[in-house]
Amino acid sequence: MPETVTFHDPLEEGPPITLEVFEVPTDVTDAAQRIGKIPEPDPYYVDVGMLYRFAALEQVRRESGPEFVAQHVAVRGHMGTGKDHDIEQFAALLRLPYFRIPLTGEVRDITLIGSTKLHGDGKGGTESRWEDGDITRALRGPALVNLSELNAAGAETLFALHGLLDRYQALDLPTGETVRLRDDVRLFGTMNPTDLRDYAGTQTLNKAFADRWVIWEKDFPTDEQLTSMLRRRYTTMADPYVEAIGRLAVEVNTSFQARDAATRVETPMSLRTVLDRLPAGLRMFQRADDPLRRAWETFVLPHVDPYDRDHYETVWSAVVRKGPGEPPFND
């Protein structure tokens, strides 16, 4: 019996989806290395719907005929909304080796595709040999490739990927070799929205490139989603803290999306702030008079530009004013 994994719809609209997991064949040259790149499932991961959607598309792909061309998903959302984490967890559950390849403005197509390099021939001379780049190497076996920060990439880098992403489904190397998209390779991407705010080094995605992706929006998590992530991860965190942090994050992120530039905050509150930094601060200041306030001052405000502090503090005053009086953890 092949091993399977079942995905449940957190919105409870769709039925559970059961999929067979991938297996790395032993005849790929770098099998051991690839197996080492299968991510571990995160025990604290809470699917807010994206993982189930990935699974639903995967099911369509597996169950439909040749009339469907493989679709590649790009997740678009603000910083720290959990885009890369969703994609990584999909790889973990489907047991696919995970290759995260950032497409920063610096990266050139030779880094991604490959290049011809000179090597000593052992007889005092040199010979030139092709060396695969990051994407090419990933495509040679089962892989989930996450092209992160798609809208940071330069135009020529994107052009090199056009054929791979459309129905041609292959990469033509300068050596004349054609590397086809294997049946056990999945391509994903992430990007920040450019409509609302600047992200240094990003640009509006080239239209022809954007048209090669299914673009799914990752919204800021809701209060309910945040508190369930906090409770899953910090089982002993006292309720008033869980609730206050959830409200702070929701209000800051609502303010981030506000139209009025005079009062809105310019930095959203990321999942890293909520799930990593603030709880660390609560631990550190657990014996202080107001642990939440101290954690806020030490782990949140330093991320905010000085001119934006007032806006953050306005949210703090409106939502918390004074932190809970009890200890932050019941242990």
Ligand X SMILES: Nc1ncnc2c1ncn2[C@@H]1O[C@H](COP(=O)(O)OP(=O)(O)OP(=O)(O)O)[C@@H](O)[C@H]1O
- Range in contact with ligand X (rule: CB under 6 A) among 33-41, 53-61, 77-85, 175-183: 77-85
- Out of Mg ion, ligand X, none, what residue 319 binds, judged by CB under 5 to 8 A for its kind, is none
Query: H helices within 140-238, ranges in order?
Result: 155-165, 207-210, 223-233
The minimum distance between CB 301 and Mg ion, in angstroms, equals 23
- At its nearest, how many Å lie between Mg ion and the CB of residue 255? 22
Considering beta carbons, is residue 82 or 246 the nearer one to ligand X? 82
The entry of ligand X, Mg ion, none that residue 68 binds, CB within 5 to 8 Å by partner kind? none
Crossing angle for the helix pair 239-256 and 309-319, to the nearest 10 degrees: 140
Does 243 participate in binding Mg ion (rule CB under 5 A)? Answer: no
Give 272's DSSP letter.
I
What tokens were used for 50? 């994206």
Q: Are 56 and 16 in contact (CB under 8 A)?
A: no
Distance CA 96, CA 98 (A): 6
Give the residue with the Cβ less far from ligand X, 225 or 255: 225
| Nearest distance from C-beta of residue 37 to ligand X, angstroms | 17
Of 103, 97, 85, 84, nearest to 37 by C-alpha is: 97
Please tell me whether residue 79 binds ligand X under the rule CB under 6 A: yes
Judged by CB under 6 A, does residue 83 bind ligand X? yes
Q: Does 282 bind ligand X (CB under 6 A)?
A: no
Q: Does residue 212 belong to the site contacting ligand X (CB under 6 A)? A: no
Q: Using CB distances below 5 to 8 A depending on partner kind, what does residue 45 bind out of Mg ion, ligand X, none?
A: ligand X
SS3 176: coil
User: Which residue in 39, 77, 97, 114 binds ligand X (CB under 6 A)?
Assistant: 77
- 93 near ligand X, rule: CB under 6 A: no
Residue 276 in contact with Mg ion, rule: CB under 5 A: no
CA 281 – CA 267 distance, rounded (Å):
19
- Give the binding-site size for ligand X (rule: CB under 6 A): 18
Residue 271 in contact with ligand X, rule: CB under 6 A: yes
The Cα-based distances of 151 to 103, 107, 110, 248, 255 in angstroms read: 8, 12, 18, 29, 25
Stretch of 2-10, 76-84, 171-179, 251-259 contacting Mg ion, by CB under 5 A: 76-84
Binding status of residue 168 toward ligand X by CB under 6 A = no
Q: Is the CB of residue 94 less than 8 Å from the CB of residue 128?
A: no
CA atoms lying within 13 Å on the CB side of residue 260 = 6
Residue pair 204/194 in contact by the 8 Å Cβ criterion: yes
Q: Can residue 84 be called a binding residue for Mg ion (CB under 5 A)? A: yes
84 makes contact with ligand X (CB under 6 A):
yes
DSSP 329: B
242 contacts 230 by C-beta, under 8 angstroms: yes
Q: For residues 257 and 314, which CB has a smaller minimum distance to ligand X in the complex? A: 257
In degrees, rounded to 5, the angle at the alpha carbon of residue 249 between the alpha carbons of residues 103 and 274 is 65
Q: Find the residue with minimal CB distance to ligand X.
A: 82
Q: Which residues bind ligand X (CB under 6 A)?
A: 44-46, 48, 77, 79-85, 190, 192, 229, 271-272, 275
Q: Which residues bind Mg ion (CB under 5 A)?
A: 84
